[in-house]
Chains A and B, each alone.
Chain A
Amino acid sequence: MEGKLICISCPRGCELLVQTDERTGAFISVEGNACIRGSLFAEAEVNHPERMMTSVVSIRGAKHCMLPVISRRPLPKGKLVEAVRAMRSITVEAPIREGDVIAEDIVGTGIDVVAARSLSCRCD
């Protein structure tokens, strides 16, 4: 079967034409990618689509009340909504350094979520 995708690995956004197995839906080949990352993306997008998760958690004792966070690696796409929801119940205490682990093994994906910035104590 033939399908169209847009590569999201860089701002250029190449339009990809993918061939997949009629029966299993598995990836066969891709055209239209300007670089190797496009073919890696197409294969992943067909066989096991994934996305980075970015969201915020609550933080106490800092000048802001929200701390931006990011998953260390892309999550299976189907887990994204659940993962963002899980962030809502998290509250951390300042100080936080960028890269500190905020949640381990998020929604059973084996992937950690880390702080995307540092936030010191309000008093510092």
Chain B
Amino acid sequence: MKVLETDIAVIGSGPAGLAAALEASRLGKRVTLIERSDDLGGILQQCIHDGFGLIRFKKQLSGPQYAERFIEELKASDVSLLMDTTVLSIENEHKLIRAVSPKEGVLEIRPGAVVLAMGCRERTRSQVEIYGTRPSGVMTAGTVQRYINLEGYLPGRRAVILGSGDIGLIMARRMHLEGIEVLGVYELMPEVGGLARNVYQCLIDYDIPLHLSTTVKEVFGDERLEGVRVVKVDENRRPIDGTEEDIACDLLVLSVGLIPENELSRKAGVLISPVTQGPVLDESMMTSVPGIFAAGNVSIVFDLVDYVSDSAEAAARGAVRYLDGQAPSAEPLDVILGNNVASLLPTQYRVDYTGDELSFYLRVCKMESNVRVALRQGDRVIKSRKMPVVRLAEMVALTLLREDLALIESGMPLDIHIET
């Protein structure tokens, strides 16, 4: 069995893994990047639409173009790559990684620190309530994206989309352009899940109808999907009798949300946060297991890939400080979720943190206009930011610089609010 030693092992080569590996390597560490597939770039390689990288590169790149910028840099760096290699477990705190690849068989990697960058999973049919048969032709938006964009195969002719998240909206347009008839997007909630600009450029541009407060109740068909039954719902999301409608279709596309990929993290003994549904993280993006860090969509489902890359560089810097024996050791202060804050990353902070900056990422519970996002300690404001509007679909970033961090005192928890 092959045994490899490295300073930092990064698991997953999506935008998070790429950025973490590069940052750690720039800071002089030996880095091993481990990727299960035969391709670098993670999910970005199938997100062929444009709109990535506006913050980082001041340009609207497509997913593959965004990935390419990091891949080029990676190839010129001395990061070691283990492709086609799946991590099976992280053991003995962070000191032993077991992985497997068709070429090498079972591998052992012994890192000084680990960065988790395995991305997220899509919710599937079993996580939403749909009755009826189990025909083929019911699949997630990501699977449809993979079929069309990577494999060049059209998985149906007449499609219904359940869920109005961004991936569903993007796939409505993509399917339409490839000649699949898109009959409509059905959303359980009274508000659309994705960004307004995606409703505009993916649905309105092509006259694809959007039905809010409506859901798919039942599917029909033996081997192959033959149709779905949609129904309107009331304020409590209960089906309204008499509003059922049957639609003939051979493809039901589910775009009902993403959740961090937690299997490895759980096995490694990392605590999972009910707030982010990913690992509980501190200011350095370190999990509850010392030496294991997390970045990108494995930590919280981000909306912009630019933030994914930023979070990964922060995690890499945390891992480097940990290796150099400069990790903060004070008791962590909790960051409390205040008014209209649904989720937050990170949720812990240590006052002896030595990084130069720290970004908090939050999602709101409801849309509000003319607000101030404020991080407070007791009655002191540590940092605030005015926003014309905050929306469910958009994450808010609040970045603290050295001078802001200096205002934080030990002992008292921090809290973060949307103030109107």
A102 at the interface (CB under 8 A from B): no
By the criterion CB–CB under 8 Å, are A13 and B197 in contact? Answer: yes
Q: Which of A17-25, A61-69, A103-111 contacts B (4 or more CB under 8 A)?
A: A61-69
By the criterion CB–CB under 8 Å, are A13 and B195 in contact? Answer: yes
Chain B residues within an 8 Å CB radius of A5: 200
A48 at the interface (CB under 8 A from B): no
By the criterion CB–CB under 8 Å, are A54 and B48 in contact? Answer: yes
A interface, how many residues as a size bin? Answer: 20 to 34
A30 at the interface (CB under 8 A from B): no
A84 to B62, CA, bound (A): 16
A51 to B150, CA, bound (A): 22
Closest to A49 in B: B205
Query: Closest Cβ of chain A: how far from B243's Cβ, in Å?
Result: 29
Interface 1/0 per residue, B232-268 and A, CB below 8 Å: 0000000000000000000000000000000000000
A55 to B200, CA, bound (A): 19
By the criterion CB–CB under 8 Å, are B196 and A6 in contact? Answer: yes
A7 at the interface (CB under 8 A from B): yes
By the criterion CB–CB under 8 Å, are A6 and B152 in contact? Answer: no
B interface, how many residues as a size bin? Answer: 35 or more
Partner of B64, one of A8, A13, A65, A116: A116
A65 to B147, CA, bound (A): 11
Contact A6 B39, CB 8 Å, known A56-B152, A66-B150: no
Contact A34 B388, CB 8 Å, known A13-B195, A63-B38, A70-B65: yes
Partner of A54, one of B62, B68, B197: B62
Chain A residues within an 8 Å CB radius of B48: 54-56, 68, 70, 116
A76 to B196, CA, bound (A): 22
By the criterion CB–CB under 8 Å, are A8 and B201 in contact? Answer: yes
Chain A residues within an 8 Å CB radius of B51: 11
Contact A11 B150, CB 8 Å, known A6-B200, A34-B388, A63-B38: no
- In chain A, positions 30-60 with a C-beta closer than 8 Å to chain B are 34, 51-52, 54-56, 58
By the criterion CB–CB under 8 Å, are A118 and B149 in contact? Answer: no
Contact A13 B196, CB 8 Å, known A58-B152, A65-B152, A70-B50: yes
Interface 1/0 per residue, B267-287 and A, CB below 8 Å: 000000000000000000000
Chain B residues within an 8 Å CB radius of A54: 48-50, 62
A95 to B220, CA, bound (A): 45
Contact A56 B205, CB 8 Å, known A84-B177, A117-B65, A117-B67: no
- B residues near A (Cβ < 8 Å) are 38-39, 41, 45, 48-51, 54, 60, 62-65, 67-68, 71, 148-152, 177-178, 195-197, 199-201, 205, 303-304, 388, 394
24 A-B pairs in the complex with CB atoms less than 8 angstroms apart: A5-B200, A6-B199, A8-B201, A11-B303, A13-B195, A13-B197, A34-B388, A54-B48, A54-B49, A54-B50, A54-B62, A55-B48, A56-B152, A58-B152, A63-B39, A64-B39, A66-B149, A66-B151, A68-B45, A68-B63, A77-B205, A98-B65, A116-B48, A117-B68
**Which 3 residue pairs of A and B lie closest in terms of their CB atoms, listed nearest first?**
A13-B196, A117-B64, A6-B200
Given contacts A13-B195, A54-B50, 16 further A-B contacts (CB under 8 A): A6-B199, A9-B60, A10-B197, A11-B51, A11-B394, A13-B196, A51-B201, A51-B205, A52-B50, A54-B48, A56-B148, A56-B149, A64-B39, A65-B151, A68-B62, A70-B62
